[in-house]
Amino acid sequence: MDSTHYTEIHLIHQGTQNHTVVQLGGLYEHGQADWVLDQTGVDYSRFRFVGDGNGVRMEYLEGDGVVLVDGAPMQSSIVVRNGSVVRIDDEEFRLELRQQRYEAATPNIDAGWMTITGSVREHNEDAIGIYQDAPYHLFVVCDGVGGAEAGEIISEFAVKYMLHEFEKYRAPNTDWASVFRSAVKAINDEARRYAQFLSEQSGKRVQAGCTLTAIALNGWDAHIVHVGDSRLYLQHEGVTEQITTDHSTFPSESTGPVPMNAGQTMMTKRNVLIKGIGKTDQIEPDLKHLRLTPGDKLLLCTDGMSDRVNTAEINGLIDGMAPQLLAAHLAKTADERRSADNVSVIVVRVNAPGQAASNGQPMPQQRAYVGPQQRPRLSTVTDVDTDFVTNHGTGLPFHIIIPVAIVILIVVIVALLLMRGGG
C-alpha cells in the first residue's frame, strides 16, 4: 500500500443519503476511528473501525441493537469492504472506503500541554513554549539548572527566544537546522554572560542554564533540536520510541523504589547533565528531521515526567486519550509518584487533513508561553547601561548620573547661601 495515502470511511444513510465520515487517522493498515450512532429509532451504539491486513475491521463496542453486515449478524467484529451494507435495527448504511492522499494537504495538529511545580519543589524551573499557526507549529520544553535566579530565568529566556526566532523565520523553505544551531548558540552565549554576572554579584560561582528540546512542524516535516535530558518521543504505527538521546549520566545507586502500577517499580535516578545550555562556551545541539504521517503522536517532556513514566506506559496511554487529557494525566501521575522535580509535558497528535481535533483545550498556565514573543533580554549591568544609552542618548549609566546630580545640587545650594550671607 502506498504510504502517502490514508483511508476515509464514508457511512451513507440509505434513507436520507446523509454522509458520516470517519478517518483511521493513519495509514490504511493502522490506526483506529470510533463511530457513535445515537438517533431516533436506533439504540445507542458505538463502533470502531481498525486498520487490518485484510482491509478494515469493524468492531461493535457498545449497544443493544441488532446489527447485520451484508446480511450476516455481527457479533464482536467483522471485516468490511467497499460497498458493504450495515443495518442497525431499522437504519441502513452503505460503506465507502476511500483512499486519500495526505501529502498534498496540511495535517490537522491537535496539541495539549501541562507544566506544574509539583509537590516537592518550591518553584517551577521548567518552561514550555507553543506556537501554532498552520502549517507552522513549534513546541519547546526547557528544564532550568541553577535555581530560581538562574535556571528559572534561563529556561524562560530560552523558550521565549525560540518562539521569537520561529516567528521571524517560519517559511516554506526555511533551513531549520541552521536557524536552530544559531539560536542555541545565541541562547548559550547569553546564559554564560548571565552566569558570570551572577557570580560577580554574589562572590561565588553560579551555574545558570537549562535543557532545550524543540520540534518545529512545517506540514508533514518535523525538525528537531535537542540538548540536555528533556525528551522527545514518537509513536508511529503503534510503537513508541525515544527520538532524542539524553545528554546526562547518573550514578548506578538509587535513592529507593518509587511506586508504579501494581507489580512495578521504577528506581529514582539522579541526573548529572553533561551537555546543556550554559554548561560550556561552545555548544553543538543534536539536529534531526522526521517525515510524519497521519496518526503519528509526539510527546515532549522534562525528566520530571520521564523519570516516573516509562516508554511502555506512555505507549499504552497515548492512543486512548486526547492530547490535553493525556498531558494532564502524565503530569499528575509523575507528581503522585513523588517526582523530585518539576513536571512538564506536551502531547501532539498528527491528524489526517480535515480530521476534527479533540475538545479539550489547555487552560492558561504559568511558565507556559504561547504564540510569538518579543526578543527577550537577560537583566545584567550591560543590558541596563545599553537600555539607558538607547533611551536617553548619554554614555553615563543611571547609577552614576544620580549621585553626580545630587552633588551638583548641593554645590549650587551652598553657593546661593554664601551669596546671601555675603550680601
Look at residue 148 in the predicted model and tell me its pLDDT.
Answer: 72
Helix axes 381-392, 176-202, angle to 10 degrees: 100
- State how far the Cα of 21 lies from the Cα of 35, in Å rounded to an integer: 9
Mean pLDDT calculated for residue range 275-294:
94
- In degrees and rounded to multiples of 5, residue 34 shows phi and psi of -95, 150
Is the model's pLDDT at 102 over the cut of 90? Answer: no
Encode burial over 30-52: b for 16+ CB neighbours within 10 A, e otherwise.
bbbbebebeeeeeeebebbbbbe
Query: Which residues partner with 231 through β-bridges?
Result: 301
Share above pLDDT 70 across residues of the chain, in percent, rounded to a whole number: 80
Burial of 284 (0-12, 13-18, 19+ CB in 10 A): exposed
Domains of the chain, with CATH numbers?
Answer: 5-101 (2.60.200.20), 108-377 (3.60.40.10)
CA geometry: angle 365, 155, 177, nearest 5 deg: 110
Look at residue 390 in the predicted model and tell me its pLDDT.
Answer: 33
Grid cell for residue 20: 458520516
User: Could you report the per-residue pLDDT of 325-359, keeping only the tens digit for each?
Assistant: 999 999 999 999 987 889 999 999 998 776 667 76
Look at residue 415 in the predicted model and tell me its pLDDT.
Answer: 75
H or E element that contains 339: none
**Segment among 16-20, 250-254, 414-418 with least mean pLDDT:** 250-254
Look at residue 289 in the predicted model and tell me its pLDDT.
Answer: 94
Grid cell for residue 258: 518509587
Look at residue 186 in the predicted model and tell me its pLDDT.
Answer: 97
Is the model's pLDDT at 239 over the cut of 70? Answer: yes
* Residue in the block written with cell 440509505: 14
**Better-scored residue on pLDDT, 91 or 178:** 178
Mean pLDDT calculated for residue range 54-61:
86
**Segment among 102-106, 129-133, 167-171, 374-378 with least mean pLDDT:** 102-106
Q: Which of 183, 132, 161 is nearest to 361 (CA)?
A: 132
Look at residue 305 in the predicted model and tell me its pLDDT.
Answer: 95
Contact residues for 390 (Cβ-Cβ < 8 A; gap 6+) = none
43 in Cβ contact with 137 (< 8 Å): no
Is the model's pLDDT at 379 over the cut of 80? Answer: no
- State how far the Cα of 384 lies from the Cα of 392, in Å rounded to an integer: 12
244 in Cβ contact with 290 (< 8 Å): no
Look at residue 50 in the predicted model and tell me its pLDDT.
Answer: 85
Average confidence score pLDDT of the chain: 83
Cis peptide before 403 (omega within 30 of 0): no
Look at residue 20 in the predicted model and tell me its pLDDT.
Answer: 84
- Is this prediction's pTM over 0.75? no
Look at residue 40 in the predicted model and tell me its pLDDT.
Answer: 56
H or E element that contains 381: helix 381-392
Look at residue 23 in the predicted model and tell me its pLDDT.
Answer: 73
Look at residue 264 in the predicted model and tell me its pLDDT.
Answer: 41
Question: Among positive and negative, which fits the CA dihedral 215, 161, 141, 303?
Answer: positive
Is the model's pLDDT at 2 over the cut of 80? Answer: no
**Segment among 102-106, 186-190, 238-242 with least mean pLDDT:** 102-106
Is the model's pLDDT at 222 over the cut of 50? Answer: yes
User: Could you report the per-residue pLDDT of 22-50, keeping only the tens digit for each?
Assistant: 876 544 334 567 788 766 556 688 898 88
Grid cell for residue 190: 547569553
- State how far the Cα of 117 lies from the Cα of 269, in Å rounded to an integer: 19
Grid cell for residue 179: 536557524
Mean pLDDT calculated for residue range 188-215:
94
- State how far the Cα of 342 lies from the Cα of 72, in Å rounded to an integer: 55
Radius of gyration of the chain (CA): 29
Is the model's pLDDT at 160 over the cut of 60? Answer: yes
Is the model's pLDDT at 194 over the cut of 70? Answer: yes
Look at residue 34 in the predicted model and tell me its pLDDT.
Answer: 79
Look at residue 380 in the predicted model and tell me its pLDDT.
Answer: 65
Look at residue 179 in the predicted model and tell me its pLDDT.
Answer: 97
